[in-house]
Amino acid sequence: MSASSESCEQLVADLEEASRLPKRGRAYKNWCQISNCDHKVVSWKFNEWDYGKNNIKLPINARGLFIVDSRDHPRIAARGYDKFFNINEVNFTSWEWLTSNTLGPFEITVKENGCIIFISGLQDGTLLVCSKHSTGARDDIDRNHSVAGEKFLECQLKTKGIDPKTLALALYNENVTAVAEYCDDSFEEHILEYTKEAAGLYLHGMNFNTREFRTLPISEVCDFATKYGFKKVDYLTKHDISSLRKFLEQCADVGSYKGKEIEGFVVRCKLADGSAFFFKFKYEEPYLMYRQWREATKKYIETKSRVFSFKKHRFITNKYLDFAIPLLDADRKLCDDYMRDFGIIKLRKLFLLDYGLTGLEILNSDKIIKLEAQNAIDYETIDENTKFLFFPIATIGCGKTTTALTLQNLYPETWGHVQNDDITGRDKSMLMKKSLELLSHDGVKAVIVDRNNHQFRERKQLFEWFAELKEKYVSYDSNVKIIALSFLPHEDLEETAKLTINRVMARGDRHQSIKVKTDGEKKVLGIMKGFLNRYQPVVLSREPDNLFDLVINLNVREADSSLINAQEILGVLHKHYPVLVPEVPSNIQIQAAFDKSLLYEPKITKVVGGGRVYDNKNLKYKPVYFSAQIDDTKAFLSLLSEMCTQQESSLDLSPFRTAMEESRMLPNLHITLSHVITGKKGSKRQKDMWCEFNKRYGKAMFKPKTSVDSLPPKRILTNDKVRFRLKKLLWNDKIITAMAELADECVIDGNTGEPVPHLGCANDYAHITLALLQPHIKPFYSNTLCQIIDEEHNFNEGTFIDGTSCLVFKSSPDMEADVSIIL
């Protein structure tokens, strides 16, 4: 056995060992069938976040690695670069580290903007063309980069009159992988433009197929490119790091190279031990701005919302959307093409032409820089577009709700009122979401965000929610003023406490969370004193209180303080914001609005400290999860069995057949749509989805108080449906599960037949657990199996070395399930 074979054999052993790791440093393998031959290669990859970590030692740092599938004579068939990083992205790409540890010459190559393609050859002259982690045909993707790259290469060689076998043998004999960037807007648009003349395979590296990273000088790479018809990358050389840094930073100042927009540069040099070392210097602009335009456009096409969360380029992105949205609304094909990554650059160029500036001119425009700094809003101007949020700062019994209702009664069309005690879900930010949603309505000028906000952290929380959520609900050019209603600014808290306690005792049960008759005076006194002890008055010299646009100080110690405070608020607003209160209403009008507020009866009862949530008549159950329930299990399994029979596959389906014959299939088949655990601890999307399900089916979870002590049902069936198809059947010795394909908004309203907005499947992998083959296995293991097959095998069909199998259904009928609430 040769030394290289021994080295590769040890590499494979190390990779196999790494594939058994639970998390950090884990290797993932996938078998790939090479196009037009019987050979297979194994693709190995790692999680992106494992590269470059001091505490993780990977078997190899290659980003893209393919090994000939041979137990006796493994050989690296194609090898990518060792993962390299941007300046200051990791500690060993800081300028200080580079100055001390790298040696020139420094070869600087332009970083092209496409998809990476690896090209190598096998011993029999077979040409191997790979994308980053796969090669050959695949059923699980709609755009195959390796196949597209291979077709382009074939045309390229044909134009040069070169037999593909000649290139393959040249690469095999030199034991190298040619590394190219496939840039072709007719196949896939990225950010930077590649016209038909500029499209092609840009050869930028030739790596030796060895475990250690070794690569040819860029001059030899360019010679090879000329010989075989590749496009050459532009490059230059600097001999010391100071001149290198000066050159890179000068290019960054102007944002281009030779007058052309580029993504950045890759720098190739050596370490003191002679080993190859790469790092990159990426331009932030105009790449970042163009990418934001692309993402904002796709989001608009998907949601018809022009809301975005970008912190930079807000002004110009909104100008871009002003131009793009009418075109998108008028042309469905433009939208469809854009979502398939076509027409992105054309739409951008049309906007720039209309705006009269290039991307670089926009970035260097003093006027636009100033507008961006203002976020396109003049915060000093108060006009008809200005809206207002009011944050009370109070404790229980201060009359904040009565005051708020008095103001709303005066302006029922233009003022809104959202009470925190009316919000029963687990999403605390729902208070701000509902407030901003109400503020977004045409004609609504002001909303009172009714919560005590008696501590700094609560006020800070409101400001943070506002900053995060504002543009999801309110137009970007709306100036929102936030005003504090300080009910307890300077009073003697002890005297105020006596007054507010007497008020609360007098009103009995007429409050959402403080029920004197129901809870008893002792409990109510404890709750109120807790609020008073924690109370933190407004301090304008510190955050978050210095963020208020205005603070209105109120007094709660008068007999009719809510009436007096409403009058005070109106007077101050008329003085400071006459656009909101052009005239102060008469005393008769204010008195009438106040009298009406006293008739208010709360509809929701909230139990302070947790527990069940009641309205005046009902008890609300807490759901464990929401599911799409298969109504007829027998018919579903019969259909699934028929689909397996019709599928042309060499897989051994006996585990599935045996489970069917032995009646081991689970009786309760369903797709979990949203679970309480992910609702509490999952991603933002999963938490939001949980809230949306609770909001949709909140009323269905109430039952009469007369049966509070009876056992709750295990399941509540709703009128809504879920439509789905079956994609794959997965199994191993532990479990059998079917993967489902759902629309993003897959829940169908049972009355209208239309999709319900924001309701879908919160799981990363929509699935139906069919059978548990071992006694200790829980249904949740289906998620783990889906993840294993995804990460290790890219959902390719086959039976793999770890015993997992995947059957891919070529077609599936549309199916329907009932949305159920599981308690």
Instruction: Catalogue the active-site residues.
Output: 111
In sign, the C-alpha dihedral spanning 138, 141, 143, 149 is negative
Which residues fall within 8 angstroms of residue 3, CB to CB, at 6 or more apart?
none
- What's the order of all strands across the beta sheet hosting 235-238? 235-238, 102-110, 264-271, 276-282
How many whole angstroms separate alpha carbon 386 and alpha carbon 249? 43
Question: Token pair of 289, please?
Answer: 């701005």
Alpha-helix residue ranges (DSSP H) falling in 199-331? 218-228, 241-254, 287-303, 314-330
204: left (phi over 0), alpha (psi -120 to 50) or beta: alpha
Bridge partners (DSSP) listed for residue 202:
181, 231
* 532 touches 395 (CB < 8 A): yes
How many whole angstroms separate alpha carbon 2 and alpha carbon 6? 6
Question: Got the DSSP string for 161-188?
Answer: T--HHHHHHHHHHHTEEEEEEEEBTTTB
Question: Token pair of 99, please?
Answer: 């100055």
How many whole angstroms separate alpha carbon 128 and alpha carbon 147? 10
Backbone angles phi, psi at 666, to 5 degrees: -65, 140
* Max CA separation in the chain (angstroms): 102
Question: Token pair of 198, please?
Answer: 């500029």
Residue 146: strand, helix, or coil: helix
Question: Got the DSSP string for 701-745?
Answer: GEEEGGGTTSPPPSEEEEEEEEEEEEEEEEE-SSEEEEEEE--TT
Query: Considering only CA atoms, which of 364, 362, 360 is closest in space to residue 319?
Result: 362
Backbone angles phi, psi at 590, to 5 degrees: -65, -40
- Stated as kind and residue range, the H or E segment containing 570 is helix 561-576
DSSP strand pairing (446-450 vs 387-393): parallel
Residues 430-445: b if buried by 16+ CB within 10 A, e if exposed: bbbbbbbbbbbeeebb
How many whole angstroms separate alpha carbon 765 and alpha carbon 784? 10
Question: Token pair of 592, please?
Answer: 């009438």
Task: For residue 710, give the amino acid letter.
Answer: S
Backbone angles phi, psi at 408, to 5 degrees: -70, -35
Question: Token pair of 182, please?
Answer: 């496939």
Query: Considering only CA atoms, which of 58, 55, 49, 74 is closest in space to residue 19?
Result: 58
How many whole angstroms separate alpha carbon 140 and alpha carbon 117? 19
Query: Considering only CA atoms, which of 247, 203, 246 is closest in space to residue 221?
Result: 203
Calculate the dihedral angle through the C-alpha atoms of 367, 368, 373, 375, rounding to the nearest 10 degrees. 130
